[in-house]
Chains A and B, each alone.
Chain A
Amino acid sequence: MHTDRRRMDMLKEIQEYEFTALDLNLYLDTHPGDNRALEQFNQVSCELAKKVEKYVECYGPLLNYGFSGGFSSHWRWVEEPWPWEM
C-alpha cells in the first residue's frame, strides 16, 4: 500500500504530540497537583489540536462518531488506507 510522504510526516508529528500529551496525562493522574505538568499538558494539547485540524483537512477524519467535524461533500471515514495498512 502506497502512502504519501507528506501524510506520513504529518501523522508522525501528531503521534509525537499525542504521545507527549498521553504520557503527561498518566503522570497527572497520580500527580494532579503538579501545576508545571498541567501547564505543559495544556500547551501540548493546544498544539496537538492545531496539527490534527490540518491533517483532517487534507486526509479526512481521525475520529469517528462526529468528533472530527462534518463532511463537505462525501463520507471520508471509509477511505483507505487504514492504520495497519500504512
Chain B
Amino acid sequence: MWIYEKKLQYPVRVDGCNVKLAKYLITQYGGPDGELGAALRYLNQRYTMPTGKTKALLTDIGTEEFAHLEIIATMVYKLLKDATVEQLKKEGLGSHYADHDRAPFYMDASGNPWTATYIQTKGEPIADLTEDMAAEQKARVTYDYLINLSDDPGVIDALRFLREREVVHFQRFGEALNDVQCFLNEKKFY
C-alpha cells in the first residue's frame, strides 16, 4: 500500500525557462542511474531480503526515491513550461516535442527510453545490497555532473540536496550489508 503526500520532499525553485538544462536533468528521471530505476530496484529486491532491517530499509529508501523522482519531474516541468516550439527545436528537444510535447518522459539525456535492463534483482542479499551501493555512487556522480552543467542557482540547490541523499543511502546500504553478513555467518554455526 502507498499513500501520496501532496507536497515535494524538497522545495524546487527555478530562475526561468531553460530547455538545455531540462534535457540534461531528464536522465535522473529515466536514465541508467536515475530515480525511477532506483525506486523500482529497491522495492523489487525487498521480497527476498533475509532480515526485518533490510526489508524496512529497502522499503523506506525505495519510497524516498519516488519523492526524488517527483523533484526531478518538477524541475523539468518548470524549466520547459514556458518554452516556445522554436526554443525546443533549437536546443535539441524538437523530437521530444513530437512525441511528448513538454511532458517529462522516462528517458536518458540522449532520449533513450528507460529499460528494466538498467536494474537487477539477484534474489541474494549480498549481491543485491552490493548493487545498491554501486547504484548510489553512480547516481551521486551523475548529480556531480549535472551540477557542473547547471547554470540555474535554484536547480543547483535541489541537485545538491539530491546528491547528499545518495551519500546517506550509500552509508545505510553499507550498514545493512554488514548486518546481513553477520546474520549469514551466525546462521552457519547452528
A65 to B4, CA, bound (A): 9
A14 to B53, Cβ gap below 8 A?
A: no
Residues of A within 8 A of B8 (CB): 15, 83-84, 86
- The answer on a CB contact under 8 Å between B7 and A26 is no
- Chain A contact residue count (CB 8 A cutoff): 27
**In the complex, which residues of chain A have a beta carbon less than 8 angstroms from the beta carbon of B3?**
63-65, 67
Task: Please classify how large the interface on chain B is, using the bins under 10, 10 to 19, 20 to 34, 35 or more.
Answer: 20 to 34
Complex contacts, A18 vs chain B, CB 8 Å: 9
**A84 touches which one: B53, B60, B73 (CB < 8 A)?**
B73
Complex interface: chain A residues within 8 A of B56 (CB): 29
8 Å CB contacts to B: which residues of A36-81?
61-65, 67, 77
Does B83 reach chain A (CB closer than 8 Å)?
A: no
> Which B residues are CB-close (under 8 A) to A61?
6
Partner of A19, one of B5, B9, B179: B9
How many pairs of residues, A versus B, come closer than 8 Å at their CB atoms? Answer: 69
DSSP majority for the B interface? helix
A25–B7 CB distance below 8 A: no
**Interface hub of B4, B10, B176 (most chain A Cβ within 10 A):** B4
B4 and A63 contact, CB distance less than 8 A: yes
Q: B5 to A26, Cβ gap below 8 A?
A: no
Check if B61 sits within 8 Å of A26, measured CB to CB: yes
Min distance, Cβ A60 to any Cβ of chain B, angstroms: 8
A residues contacting B by CB (< 8 A) are 8, 11-12, 14-15, 18-19, 22-23, 25-27, 29-32, 61-65, 67, 77, 82-84, 86
Between-chain CB contacts (< 8 Å), 18 pairs: A15-B10, A26-B57, A26-B168, A29-B56, A29-B172, A30-B175, A32-B53, A61-B6, A62-B7, A63-B3, A64-B3, A83-B6, A83-B70, A83-B74, A84-B8, A84-B73, A84-B78, A86-B11
